[in-house]
Amino acid sequence: MIECKNDPILQEDLEFVANSASIPWESLENCSILVTGATGLVGSQLIKSLACRNRLFHSNIKIIACVRNLEKAKKIYADIADRKELEFVVGDIAHAIDTESEVDYIIHTASATASKEFVTKPVEVIHTTLNGTRNVLELALRKKSKGVVYLSSMEAFGVVPPSDKKATEKDLGLIDLSNPRSCYPEGKRMAECLCTAYASEYGVPVKVARLSQTFGAGITYTENRVFAQFAKAAIEGHDIVLHTKGLSWGNYCYTRDTVTALLMLLSKGNQGEAYTISNEASNVRIKDMAEMVATRIAGGKIKVVFDIPESALTYGYAPDTELHLSSAKMQALGWKPTVSLEETYRRMMQSMLSSKDSTCP
C-alpha cells in the first residue's frame, strides 16, 4: 500500500525523496532511524519518505516514531500504521525518551511552533527546547548512534543589520532578551550550543539543520501559519490580510527539499556544525509574497489589505528583519532545492484540497 493514498501530490513528493540520488541511502539501509515530533509536518514526511523507500527498494530501514498522542499518530499514519518496520514510542521528549530498540540515527524535529505560545508560554517553550534536546542527545550517547540531526530555525540568526549580503551560518545578529518572545530564537541558539557541546565533549555525531520556513504538500487545511492563510485566501477567494507592514524578508524551502537535506545530513557534514537549509531563490518580503499569491496564484481576483494592531506582540510576530540566507554550505554537500516559491504554493494548495477530509498529515 502506498503511504498517502488520498493525497497524490504528497505521494509524488514522498516518491521523489525515496528516489533521490543525493541521499546516501547505502548508509541508511538495514539501520534504525528515530524521529521525534513524528506528528508534525517535517517529522511525518521524513517517516513516510523512509517507509516509501522501504516499499520501493526493500531498504529494511526500521522507523521509530516518537509521539505524544498515539491516537493522533495512528490517524496520520493510517495508510502505513500496520507496517512491521514502523514502531511508535509514546512520551514527551521534555521529560524522557527511550526505546529498547537500537537507534542508529536520530532526527530531532519536535519543537514548539505556534507563535502565540512564544508570548503566552515562554517558560514552557524554553523547557521543551532545552530539555527535549538534551534528552535526545543523551539517548544518542547511550545508543552510540551513528548520526543525529537537530532541527533549529532561521530565527536563531536573530536581527541582523540590513544588508544585501547572504548570511552564512556564522553571521548571527541580535536577540532582545527583554522580549518574552525571544524564548524561541534564544532557545534554538542554546540548543545548537548544546549540540556543539555534546559533539565536542562526548563525540556525539550531531549536526544542526538551521531551517528556513518550510511548507508545501502535506499542510492541512486547519493550519493557521501565514503561508497557509495566504493559500486559503486564494482558495476561498477572499483578500489577504496582513497584520504587519510585511517588510520582513522571508526565507523559504519546499517540504520535500528540506526532507532530502535532513536525510543527507544524517551521514554527511561535520559533527557539531550548523547547515542552513533554504532555497535562495525563494527569498522575498512578506508583502511581496502576499502580492504574488494574490496576483499570480489567485489570478488577481483578491487583493492584499493591511490591518495592523497597535502592538505586534499581541500576535507573537517576530520583529522586522532583512535576512538573506546562504545555503552554500549545505549545497557543498550535494544538496540542491528543486521547487520554486510559486510552485510551492500551487502544490501546497492542491494538497490542502485533496487531503482536506483525509488522514494525511
Q: What is the CATH number of the domain that holds 168?
A: 3.40.50.720
Supply the range of the domain harboring residue 129: 8-216+252-281+323-337
Q: Is 98 a member of any domain?
A: yes
Res 126 pLDDT > 90? yes
Per residue in 211-233, pLDDT tens? 999 999 999 999 988 999 999 99
Of the listed ranges 43-52, 96-105, 135-144, the least confidently predicted one is 96-105
123 contacts: CB under 8 Å, gap ≥ 6: 183
Among candidates 262, 176, 252, 158, which has minimal Cα distance to 214?
252
Instruction: Say which residue the cell 506528528 belongs to.
Output: 39
| 315 has pLDDT over 70 | no
Residue 168 lies in a domain: yes
User: Has residue 242 been placed in a domain?
Assistant: no
Residue 199 inside a domain? The answer is yes
Strand stretches in 255-311, DSSP E? 274-277, 283-285, 304-306
Q: Is residue 160 part of a domain?
A: yes
When pLDDT is cut at 50, 70 and 90, the band that residue 345 belongs to is very high
Provide the strand spans (E) within the chain: 32-36, 62-67, 86-90, 105-108, 147-153, 206-211, 213-215, 240-242, 249-254, 274-277, 283-285, 304-306
CB contact at 8 A, 258 and 277: yes
> Is 293 within the bounds of a domain?
no
Q: Is residue 352 a contact partner of residue 6, using CB atoms and an 8 Å limit?
A: no
| 241 within some domain | no
> What per-residue confidence (pLDDT) applies to 163?
84
C-beta separation of 243 from 82 below 8 A? no
pLDDT digits (tens, 9 = 90+) for 245-301: 999 899 999 999 999 999 999 999 999 999 999 999 999 999 999 999 999 999 999
Could you give the number of structural domains in the chain? 1
- Is 161 domain-assigned? yes
